[in-house]
Structure 1
Amino acid sequence: MNIVFMGTPEFAVPPLEALHSKGYDISLVITQKDKRRGRRKKLLPTPVKEKALELGLEVYQPDSVNEKDTINRLIEINPDVIVVVAFGQILKKDLLNIPKYGCLNIHASILPKYRGAAPINWAIINGEKETGITIMEMDEGLDTGDILKVERIPIEKDDDSISIHDKLSHLGAKLIIQVLEEMRMGKIEKTPQNHELSSYAPMLSKETGRIDWNNNGNNIINLIKGLKPWPSAYFIYNGDSIKIHKARIEDRLNDEENGVVVKVSDEGIYVNCKDSTIVIEELQFPGKRKMKVSEYLRGNKFPTNIKLS
């Protein structure tokens, strides 16, 4: 089976590795342009490009996947299937119609819930008890195509967006192999989505992570878990945005108003919220590495009875 693979971030690497290890003919890997990252703004390849080159695969990085040169190149390759995983561009009709068996997308939610760019994050932020992978036949809509396969996993108490990302990435790799095998045998079944049950998972921004201490404790903890590693949940202290990397919830310590620091110890920074107290265990100041509160307090002080915003 002749396959073109489209993907960009680390999430797409295990599916690419799985396709290669199973012996599929990957004619071309299309990924986004190299970008400048980090404090030094060094030009870096995408994780998919790095892996593809390591596997000896041909890589193509167009400005737009829908441009004429890309379309012509894909027509020449004449793929049976295009596999798309977190690619980062919308595929238009001319491209979708090229492969014999269509374009298949590995989406990190149980569609039709959480269509869009950040399904893992929003499932955790919203306190969902489960999530999963959907293999979908792409159409011109945003994650609206027919469903080919779904598998669910629980969101455990200790899970965050990093752990769920890794679980779903490997689950997607397993399921795309199953779907391609079923397709080869002519046993594939398509299920239209119920659009009335759809929800949207929009792109994240830094402002998404600002904590509202008037919220309840579970919602704040879910926000912290759901925004790792970026953009991170944060609060404002002395004009600086302080990121929270780890926290827990405890019974409310006193009747101080929401957002007030009621206790500071090696165990954490205790902040009142609507119905409980949030204990901040790991934080990160601007320009610094993340650290445990106990480590921070060895050389610094954090006051009590102040109100965070």
Structure 2
Amino acid sequence: MRILFFCHRFNSLSQRLYCELTDRGHEVSIELDVHPDLMIEAAELYKPDLIIAPFLKRKVPEEVWRKYLTLILHPGPPGDRGPSALDWAILRGLKVWGVTLLEASHEYDAGDVWAWRTFPMRFARKSSIYRNQVTEGAVECVLEVLENLQKGRILKKPQRHSVWNPYMEQEYRKVDWQKDTVLDVLRKVYASDSQPGSLSQIKGEDYYLFNAYPEEELKGTPGSLLAIRDEAVCIGTADGAVWITHMRRKEKGSIKLPSARVISHLLDGVKEEPLKPWESVDFKTYREIIYKEEGDVGYITFNFYNGAMSTEQCERLLETVKYAKRRPVKAIVLLGQEDFFSNGMNLNTIENAESPPDESWRNINAMDHVCEEILRTEDKLTVAGMQGNAGAGGVFLALTCDFVFTREGVVLNPHYKNIGNLYGSEFWTYTLPKRVGWEKGREIMENRMPISSLKAYQIGLIDGVFGKTPEEFRDKLRRWLVDFLNSLGYEEFIKRKREERRKDELEKPLSAYREEELERMKLNFYGFDTSYHIARYYFVRRILPFRTPPYLAIHRRLGFSS
């Protein structure tokens, strides 16, 4: 089928649906909801068999849905209506929620229901539930409807009873440190993350809060700043304390940053409470990186917010990898976190730096240090266990490992083009051709679109795909590791790996790959072409494009004919 997406942004759900549908042979073109007239024009240019709106912030024009079947994905069960569906569900502590595929109509979220799914609610950030439970349910709904349409079946029913829930204003999200308990704070921040944030006053100044974790040991007066760890700040509540990893000033043009950078002027005298990744604790607290051994395997989990890795986070991860290499284990596994494995450099901390070009240079070198440390691991098996999505340098961080496995449904963006035509580093000129060859490698790097984990496996980019949920993925990965490490093939693999690495080093040292890549990156950072700096500025400030780029919109490419 020829399918047109209407999207406010080409977000994680939209990308997952794009992969699922194109993998099944459908043609998908994307139009961003820049203006109603452009949406009408897109439909007339493309003449789709079906329009799907995975993520919208404006109504689909009546001129479109009257002529073309248009289905809207709503992150709530049938009968729920309004723009803050998940927000209200989290704030109200609902135990079951859902996702609905409904037909566009005059009123928001009031059309006939074509498919729906329900799921048990986790107590987690809105964005995490959206990327996992909502996305899985949405995929099932869309595939069900497509199958029915292709068989000539139209199975829909009207919404007879519905409740309109308005946009959730800050009066419901706002944290009051004097009154709110730890649970209250978590619920409010979870309901507002990753947008718009939960407003709060700290020392008389207004900030938006993001990414909260409970703290069971540290105590203090409500609103007091108790401690700092890995740039997160611990703040007292009415009955305990929470860690807030990211904040944003309440002012126009401000960007989301690690909390300690946002309120650095308020932190004089606030103590550091360091906790090494390999230290064990028996209470709830904030852990950015966790190193844990199970038998012959060392697992490294890194909870970098939205998968972005700042210079300092790369340095902390490098320290953990070096520690793991000194341990008497046979395998080191990089697990990332459930929402993201990694998305490479942290563009927000770069944008906030006094010199973004200099900080870009520091950040890419810090990424390369981690990648080189993994590539030079000759006596242990290295594995990337990608529970969540990955993009740009995050994909190539994974490719430095001996084996790369992903969970079913993971979406990869193995390219740098969408951030100002960056050349990229992380030793991709070494690892990518080794896996897929130069011709396929160039094709991957030039492609600006996401690919599914299944597609990545089929082209040889990764080594396996399994497990529908993160828990199932980790369980199957553990079993594979136990079997492989106890097999006759393990020692032979390590011997062959060592010989191949030394042979490769003689032919062309890793340092040469790195130097060549960084010379190209230096041009991106310091050269006359400012595309990277402009793209980064737009990205971190969430500035929408004024038109849909042709790499997304098939219908806007030169020579397109419907």
TM-score relative to the length of structure 2: 0.40
Structure 1 equivalent of residue 193 of structure 2? 228
Whole-Å Cα distance in 1 between the matches of residues 66 and 248 of structure 2? 49
Q: What's the CA shift string for 1:236-259, capped at 9, x where partnerless?
A: 1233224353132769x79x7xx4
Task: State the shift of 1:111 in Å.
Answer: 2.3
Q: What's the CA shift string for 1:35-84, capped at 9, x where partnerless?
A: xxxxxxxxxxxxxxxxxxxxxxxxxxxx32xx3x7546634644321111
- 1:30 maps to a residue whose letter is E
Task: State the shift of 1:194 in Å.
Answer: 3.0
Whole-Å Cα distance in 1 between the matches of residues 204 and 119 of structure 2? 40
Task: State the shift of 1:135 in Å.
Answer: 1.0
Task: State the shift of 1:264 in Å.
Answer: 2.8
Higher share in strand: 1
Does the 8 Å contact 1:248/1:281 carry over to 2?
no
Q: Please state whether the residue corresponding to 2:3 is helix, strand or coil.
A: strand
Structure 1 equivalent of residue 226 of structure 2? 264
Structure 2 equivalent of residue 37 of structure 1? none
CA distance 1:172–1:119, shift in 2 (3 Å): same
Whole-Å Cα distance in 2 between the matches of residues 77 and 291 of structure 1? 46
User: Residue 218 of structure 1 is aligned with which of 175, 180, 183?
Assistant: 183
Task: State the shift of 1:30 in Å.
Answer: 1.3
Q: Please state whether the residue corresponding to 1:190 is helix, strand or coil.
A: coil
Structure 1 position 105 matched with structure 2 position 107: no
User: Residue 52 of structure 2 is aligned with which of 83, 98, 121?
Assistant: 83
For residues 20-39 of structure 1, what are the structure 2 equivalents within 5 Å? Answer: 20-26=22-28, 28-33=29-34
Task: State the shift of 1:105 in Å.
Answer: 1.1
Q: What's the CA shift string for 1:231-283, capped at 9, x where partnerless?
A: 222421233224353132769x79x7xx454x83569745343xx33433535
Task: State the shift of 1:8 in Å.
Answer: 2.6
Does the 8 Å contact 2:33/2:56 carry over to 1?
yes
CA distance 1:208–1:12, shift in 2 (3 Å): farther
For residues 142-153 of structure 1, what are the structure 2 equivalents within 5 Å? Answer: 142-153=108-119
Does the 8 Å contact 1:232/1:245 carry over to 2?
no
- 1:132 maps to a residue whose letter is G
Whole-Å Cα distance in 2 between the matches of residues 145 and 285 of structure 1? 37
User: Residue 15 of structure 1 is aligned with which of 14, 17, 29?
Assistant: 17
Whole-Å Cα distance in 1 between the matches of residues 94 and 203 of structure 2? 34
Q: Please state whether the residue corresponding to 2:206 is helix, strand or coil.
A: strand
The structure with the larger Rg is 2
Structure 1's unaligned 5+ residue stretches are: 34-62, 304-309
Structure 1 equivalent of residue 135 of structure 2? 169
Q: Please state whether the residue corresponding to 2:214 is helix, strand or coil.
A: strand
Does the 8 Å contact 1:134/1:149 carry over to 2?
yes
Q: Please state whether the residue corresponding to 2:77 is helix, strand or coil.
A: coil
Greater displacement, 239-248 / 146-155? 239-248
Structure 2 equivalent of residue 130 of structure 1? 96
Q: What's the CA shift string for 1:95-132, capped at 9, x where partnerless?
A: 21112xx211111111212x222322222122121222
Does the 8 Å contact 1:126/1:219 carry over to 2?
no
CA distance 1:232–1:302, shift in 2 (3 Å): farther
Does the 8 Å contact 1:109/1:134 carry over to 2?
yes
- 2:258 maps to a residue whose letter is K
Task: State the shift of 1:227 in Å.
Answer: 1.1
Higher share in helix: 2
Whole-Å Cα distance in 2 between the matches of residues 244 and 25 of structure 1? 37
TM-score relative to the length of structure 1: 0.69
Say how many residue pairs are matched. 255
